[in-house]
Amino acid sequence: MLDVDLDGQALVRRLNVRRALQLVFDGSGRETRAGIARATGLTAATASSLVAELITRRLVVEVGPAASTGGKRATTLAVDGSHHLLLVTVIRFSDVQVTLVALDGAVVHDERESFTPVDRDERIRGLISRVGRRYSSRLLAAAVQLPGATDGQRVLQSVQLGWVDVPLAAQIADELGVPTLLVNDVDAEAVAEMTVAADTSGRRLFVHLGIGIGAAITLDGELAPGPSARVGEIGHVPVVFGDDAHDCECGRRGCLESAASMTAMLGDGFVEGMDAAAFDALVAAADPERLTAGAVALGRVITMLAAMLDPAEVVIGGAIAGLGEGFFAQVRAQAGVAPTGAVTVPVRVATSGVGGHVGAAQLALGSVLGVRWCAGQLRASEPR
């Protein structure tokens, strides 16, 4: 019975430590011990004890006196960005990027390397290992963002990378010596949007267009996954028929990717993360009919998904933002088309302003500390 009581006390302690840490994340540079006590209903002594633990673990730091309220001035607390790091790996079709993010959201290191199908695995592991060794004493957790279905530990299937049932998280965790999780690239983008959004309430649909096409759903700011980790696999749903349908790499005709992927609209010269000038040249040379066909196909899918999910917003991410407002006007126009006799409800279609490492970094942070950055903290971070 005593052991049970002790376990219960330890659990309550851990929960209170997490609550205190989230309060500092929410008000970094402004929060105080007294503020934590008021927000949690804990005694001043308990709040001070929690803060002492967070300081010892190098998660929180004292930064200076708070504004005077007439008595002794309290000491303000901030997230300690000087020690712990999250290692985020973003794997795309032809390159890999490793970013180290401090707890205050600042980017400490960023390195990118291209690969071919022949040397891909070697270069990915080599970059992760090289950066990981350099910062090994400061690593807290790692996350890997990739195109394909994953359960968080295994790559169930990645058509783009040619991986099936790969225990990638365990392999990288063994290399780095820290907890590691995997995340689908579209899920990561959805989390990134929710990390910087001022309003995360309701259901939101995220669609990513690149070499492939995928989607994700969030509910009140949290991912809404399915039992088989395949929510949002919409790229190979047929939406174009008859003479307008094109062959798809999956072997069928008329799939969404065959009409609306960036390669379908811009040609094989498109590469994820390509130079802005080269991308603009592809857009300028693109066949207007191909762009229109892609916009119509995408609009059709948004119409179907919006009718089923009733999202507060549809956010489209990826390099597609570079296609310009004219393209999105066509998407929005098609998304407003309803079957004869039906009543449509306008769906807000926006473009994503966040990407890169943000979503995966947030998931890594949550997995080890159970907290999250608030709106603007990651977007505002500068390399240092």
Question: Is 84 a residue whose pLDDT tops 50?
Answer: yes
Separation between Cα atoms, residue 238 and residue 310, nearest integer Å = 22
Choose the weakest-confidence range: 29-43, 56-70, 72-86.
Answer: 56-70
- Per-residue exposure over 347-368, b if at least 16 CB sit within 10 Å of its own CB, e if not: bebeebebbbbbbbbbbbbbbe
Q: What is the residue extent of each domain of the chain?
A: 2-79, 85-189+356-369, 198-351
Pick the CATH number of 2-79 from 1.10.10.10, 3.40.50.300, 2.40.50.100, 3.40.109.10: 1.10.10.10
Structure tokens of 107?
């980017």
Question: DSSP strand E in 121-243: where?
Answer: 139-146, 149-150, 155-158, 163-166, 180-184, 203-209, 213-219, 222-223
Which pLDDT score, from 0 to 100, does residue 384 have?
Answer: 34
Separation between Cα atoms, residue 303 and residue 347, nearest integer Å = 9
Separation between Cα atoms, residue 159 and residue 54, nearest integer Å = 43
pLDDT in tens, 187-202: 998 888 888 777 778 8
Is the dihedral angle over the CA atoms 270, 276, 281, 287 positive or is it negative?
positive
Q: Are 36 and 50 in contact (CB under 8 A)?
A: yes
- Per-residue exposure over 35-53, b if at least 16 CB sit within 10 Å of its own CB, e if not: bbbebbebeeebbebbbeb
Which pLDDT score, from 0 to 100, does residue 64 have?
Answer: 82
Which pLDDT score, from 0 to 100, does residue 345 have?
Answer: 61
Question: Is 220 a residue whose pLDDT tops 60?
Answer: yes
What is the chain's alpha carbon radius of gyration, rounded to the nearest angstrom?
23
Separation between Cα atoms, residue 139 and residue 247, nearest integer Å = 46
Q: To the nearest 10°, the Cα dihedral for 193, 197, 199, 203?
A: 0
- The reply to whether domains 2-79 and 198-351 share a CATH topology is no
Residue 147: which of 175, 182, 99, 193 has the closest Cα? 182
- Percent of the chain that is helix, strand, coil (3-state, to 5): 40, 25, 35
Is the dihedral angle over the CA atoms 12, 13, 17, 23 positive or is it negative?
positive
Across the range 287-309, mean pLDDT stands at 89
pTM of the model: 0.85
Which of residues 200 and 345 earns the better pLDDT score? 200
Q: What is the CATH number of domain 198-351?
A: 3.30.420.40
Phi-psi region of 64 (alpha: psi -120 to 50; beta: other; left: phi over 0): left
Across the range 294-316, mean pLDDT stands at 87
Q: Are 371 and 365 in contact (CB under 8 A)?
A: yes
Sequence letter at residue 259: A
From the number of C-beta atoms within 10 Å of its C-beta (0-12, 13-18, 19+), residue 312 rates as middle
* Residue 43 vs residues 40, 47, 71, 75, 199: alpha-carbon distances, Å: 9, 6, 19, 17, 32
Question: Is 128 a residue whose pLDDT tops 50?
Answer: yes
Q: What is the CATH number of domain 85-189+356-369?
A: 3.30.420.40
Centre a 10 Å sphere on the Cβ of residue 11 and count the other Cβ atoms it contains.
10
Choose the weakest-confidence range: 58-72, 103-117, 359-373.
Answer: 58-72
Residue 271: which of 92, 123, 121 has the closest Cα? 92
